[in-house]
Every structure is written in structure tokens, then in C-alpha cells.
């Protein structure tokens, strides 16, 4: 899937898992580069572009 605009702040993004559809937003509304860095630390994998693909920590590669 992709990163989509956050409902509370369109300048911030919500990361969506391509496998299960779960969402990740970090602790607050974050711009893409910061969100991706935090998501990597939380176990997310994938391409470092907002267009994906992305996988959450629970989904297999």
C-alpha cells in the first residue's frame, strides 16, 4: 500500500502495511522521513519511499 495523509494533519502521514493493512503513525503526526525512521525502529520493513511497499513487524517478509 502506501503512506496516506493523516486525518488530523494532512502534512503528516500514516503508514499502511501492504500485507495486513495495519496502520502506523508513530507517537505523533510525523512527516514521512521521520515516520519511516521511527517505523524502522519499530520493526517495519520495506522501501524507504512513501509509495511502498511496506510490511509491519508482525507480517512475514
Percent of the chain with pLDDT over 70: 74
Distance CA 55, CA 22 (A): 9
The grid coordinates of residue 29 equal 503526526
pLDDT at site 6: 61
- Tally of helices (H runs) and strands (E runs) in the chain: 1, 5
Which residue is it, cell 499502511? 16
Q: What is the mean pLDDT of residues 6-32?
A: 78
Instruction: Compute the residue count for the chain.
Output: 61
Distance CA 45, CA 1 (A): 13
Amino acid at each position: 500500500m502506501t503512506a496516506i495523509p493523516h486525518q488530523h494533519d494532512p502534512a503528516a502521514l500514516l503508514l499502511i502495511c501492504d500485507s495486513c493493512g495495519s496502520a502506523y503513525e508513530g507517537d505523533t503526526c510525523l512527516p514521512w522521513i521521520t515516520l519511516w525512521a521511527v517505523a524502522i525502529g519499530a520493526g517495519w520493513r520495506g522501501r524507504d519511499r512513501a509509495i511502498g511497499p511496506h510490511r509491519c513487524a508482525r507480517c512475514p517478509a
